[in-house]
A and B are shown apart, each in its own frame.
Chain A
Amino acid sequence: MVRFGNSIAGRDRGGAWFLGILTLIAIAVPVLNILVPPSSTFHLSAYGIALIGKYLCYGMLALALDLIWGFCGILSLGHAAFFALGGYAMGMYLMREIGPRGVYGNPILPDFMVFLNWKSLPWFWHGFNHFLFAAAMVVAVPALLALVFGWFAFRSRVTGVYFSIITQALTYALMLAFFRNNMGFGGNNGFTDFKDILGFDLHSDGTHAVLLVITAVALGASYLACRAIVDSRAGRVIRAIRDAESRTRFLGYPVESFKLWLFVFSGIIAGIAGALYVPQIGIINPSEFAPINSIEAVIWVAVGGRGTLYGAIAGAVLVNYAKTYLTGAFPEVWLYALGALFVLVTRYLPRGIIGLLPSKDKVVPKAALLGESHEESARSRQAARS
């Protein structure tokens, strides 16, 4: 995998910057939290860590979306469903970890089941007391949903806005289902009041700092994996599908299978992001499935700049920072701001914020297409390949 080093040094400048900043965060956050005394202005509180952790998880969701939307033209309006499923899988483990420390003190049944007068654990809750099993489910459940749903959708050549609408319906249906008490996922309230993860106290700063570092590593690894895919020949096929689907099919590529595997991979990244999100935020409930969550994630990607991977992550962090600030300072302004963001970005910033930066990367402004900068980057790409 020499190509990673090569590609990052050679042409993926945005990616290099992104990985640099991510490393900085992974180092600085524990330092600022643990080594800097609480009295100092530079001390980072547990709340601050959780907030940064949340942004990074959202960044991962945005990355997953950009992979399919930015590179393959598949706009999923239900991607938060995978995020939430990963989160629920992790939440089930955390609920089992509570053990007899719950309000009702039942060693096996989580509180909400005792409350509902259930006598035994539903079959799908078995195994979640083992972390490794839960971790496997974090990957398997979103992957399976993506596989089944994608298989049906792509096989019948549901594309464009049709696909978007159907994915939105998917997450909506899941939301309705998870709201039901008898589904066995805590209904309205979902899961909360977690105690610890693998024996580490979830209320301690140290655990949060470690979770954040793990999230940063996961995000970095996901980025590199996505980068590897889009830079491979498969990545070129995927972009070819985006630009001229039937032509790609005609070249003999099984377009549906490309879309399907990409969708599954994207779903897995989203699921992992959700699983990392839950222990840091401390709650998961059915509102995570709400269609608006998925659409918001799309706007992160659009704001950052789609088809760049790191742009999507930057967009997620920026928009969510603005959301944290605005919903705190001017709650009624937030929806106006979000609405305006949708309109303005699609209307005036089709390439997102990344598109504003002077760039030698793939995203080339139209006017500069024949200019030197592009030729150069293309040549370096050629060199990197041979």
Chain B
Amino acid sequence: MIRFPRGGQRFFGPLLLLGALFAAHAQSPKDANFLSTLGELREATYSGKAGIVERLGQSGHPSVRAVLTALLEERLYYRNSDQKVFIAKSADSDPLNLIDPLSLKNSGSAPAANLTQIGTNNALRRVVRMAVARFGLSSPSASVRLDAAREMLKSLDDPTVALLRERLGVERNSSVRKEIATGLALAALDSPDTKTRLAAISTLKGGLSQDVRNRLALLLDKSSDGAFIEKDENVRRAAASAVAAIDRWRTFYSGFQTLFFGLSLGSVLVLIAIGLAITFGVMGVINMAHGELMMLGAYTTYAVQLAMPGHTGISILLAIPAAFIVSGLTGIAMERTIIRHLYGRPLETLLATFGVSLILQQSVRSIFTALNRSVITPDWMSGSLRLNDAIEITYNRLYVVIFTLLVFSLILAVLKRTRVGLDIRAVSQNRAMAKAMGIRTDWVDAMTFGLGSGIAGVAGVALSQLTNVGPNLGQSYIIDSFMVVVFGGVGNLWGSLIGGMSMGIVNELLEPYAGAVLAKIFVLVALILFIQARPRGLFPQAGRAAEDK
């Protein structure tokens, strides 16, 4: 992101022009040809532009893809002063950051007012998309070819089909082959030969894509005079069963996808709830500032990223221990100064920690202002994993689920395998006895609280990848996570895991039918009813803390 200071471009402007002249000197005939074809775009009508795009596509110039993509995304401009065509890095910024269409190198920036956008309409965009796809089909990268093939499936005409058939002969990659075969089968549905159509349907039957399904469903429609469009009954029957099969699979996979969304939402709740579970389980303390400790973690992520510009990936990884330490130390400070004096008075503790939450919120507002901050997601976490035509899983959600399970196992290991964990468990089961056995209970309390708070901080790191970071971040999740703790059984890690995941899934299952707000209300009501049956949650705690009021 190179940004010139405001006055800078006036100063650099002439220099850049000079550079462009030199570049023009070094052009090969191919370049010149490409550039002049490109230049025609400025004046042409939409239908004229379609022809130009075709010619650009056939030119085979290395910049074709970049230029056409830019046209598609309305990022192609020409400079009013010299009519020269440029690609803009993004269409929203002003001044626009320009890229030279030949060299694809940065070419400075210019105020948006000095440039004119090369417009498109729907019909033209379709042509451009096809041109890009056709170009992409011969790309050396398999994933580009796959995208191209998918794109071409959307509008199959004779030249496209010919191109696909040609490609099938040389294509090695199985996914691309499958995609192309789907395309050919779709085209074959129009064949006059019944056998060909039946064969096409049987090829398409295994597919999952909505487009294929809709195309097959068309075979079952009747035309306006009441007769079937598809005359052959066997073909219709085959098509009907193929549509049903695809629908079945799509329903199955969409259930799977909902499940995954639920799990990822649940993961966030679990991350928050395990911290709460630890502090309550051992100390009988409901920490109302838990959400704010999580918010601190999210802000820590933001701060670490600010401190290391350009290293987004590493900064996220570094933010995990940093957030753990920041929130953990804050938690320990809270425990030492306030909570320890209120031991055995859970209601008072609840109020005091709520006070702390207000102070933390306001501090963050004073330091970072009340505006939401967005934490940049590293490349390896953005985008999505496409398992098949029916499921697409975004990487950030996937990582959050994995991360939650990692943290969960780590906490279990700490509690079960380490000396600190043994002490913590001893204190939670019988404080007096633990004390008598020489365990420094106050030290354990501080460590426990620090651990629970640190996990809240880590949850904040995860959350910063899913949503914006603001002073109210903690509040918006804390009530849900309390619900998880109550549902799962206070002080029980497994309860938090299962409680959080199931609440996430229930929420996602209900949302399409009831809307987000009603789903939430429904969950709350269901929880209140659930408590009728299991007042102490799914996994009631057995320790002494459970007996206290």
Contact = CB atoms under 8 A, between A and B. Distances in A.
Q: Do A and B come from one complex?
A: yes
Interface of A: 73, 75, 149, 152-153, 155-162, 164-166, 168-170, 172-173, 176-177, 179-180, 245, 291, 295, 298-299, 302, 332, 335-336, 338-343, 345-347, 350
B357 A339 contact: yes
A166 B517 CA distance: 18
A166 B549 contact: no
Nearest to B348: A346
Contacts of A340: 355, 359
Interface stretch (B111-119, B392-400, B529-537): B529-537
Contacts of B78: none
Interface residues of B, number: 41
Nearest to B482: A165
Interface in B446-499: 479, 482-483, 485-486, 490
Contacts of B348: 346, 350
Given A176-B517, A347-B342, A339 B524 contact: no
Interface stretch (B47-55, B91-99, B360-368): B360-368
22 contacts: A152-B529, A155-B532, A160-B347, A161-B346, A164-B350, A166-B528, A168-B482, A169-B483, A172-B524, A173-B520, A176-B521, A291-B479, A302-B351, A332-B365, A336-B362, A338-B355, A339-B355, A339-B356, A339-B358, A345-B351, A346-B351, A347-B341
A162 B532 CA distance: 12
Contacts of B548: 160
Nearest to B536: A162
A153 B528 contact: yes
Given A343-B355, A347-B338, A159 B532 contact: no
Contacts of B527: 166, 169
B517 A152 contact: no
Interface string B537-549: 0000000000011
Nearest to B342: A346
A156 B341 contact: no
Contacts of B485: 165
B352 interface: yes
A166 to B, nearest CB: 6
B347 A342 contact: no
Contacts, number: 120
B350 A162 contact: no
Given A164-B347, A166-B486, A177-B517, 11 more contacts: A149-B528, A155-B532, A156-B533, A159-B549, A160-B549, A168-B479, A169-B524, A169-B528, A342-B358, A345-B351, A347-B352
B500 to A, nearest CB: 15
B110 interface: no
Interface string B506-525: 00000000000100110011
B286 interface: yes
Contacts of A164: 286, 347, 350
Nearest to A69: B347
Contacts of B549: 73, 159-160, 245
Contact of B338 (A332, A336, A343): A343
B403 interface: no
- Contact residues of A: prevailing secondary structure: helix
Contacts of B529: 152
A173 B525 contact: yes
Given A165-B286, A332-B365, A332-B366, A176 B520 contact: yes
Nearest to A171: B479
B249 interface: no
Interface in B334-389: 338, 341-342, 346-352, 354-359, 361-362, 365-366
Interface string B185-210: 00000000000000000000000000
Nearest to B349: A346
B525 A335 contact: no
B540 to A, nearest CB: 12
Interchain residue pairs A-B with the least CB separation, the first 8: A342-B355, A339-B358, A339-B359, A335-B362, A343-B355, A346-B352, A339-B355, A160-B549
B483 A161 contact: no
A176 B521 CA distance: 8
A346 B355 contact: yes
A360 B303 CA distance: 56
A75 to B, nearest CB: 5
Nearest to B549: A160
Contacts of A149: 528
A332 B525 CA distance: 36
A110 B341 CA distance: 53
Contacts of A159: 549
A171 to B, nearest CB: 10
A343 B531 contact: no
Contacts of A335: 358-359, 361-362, 365
Contacts of A342: 351-352, 354-356, 358
A223 B405 CA distance: 54
B334 to A, nearest CB: 9
Contact of A75 (B338, B341, B347, B365): B347
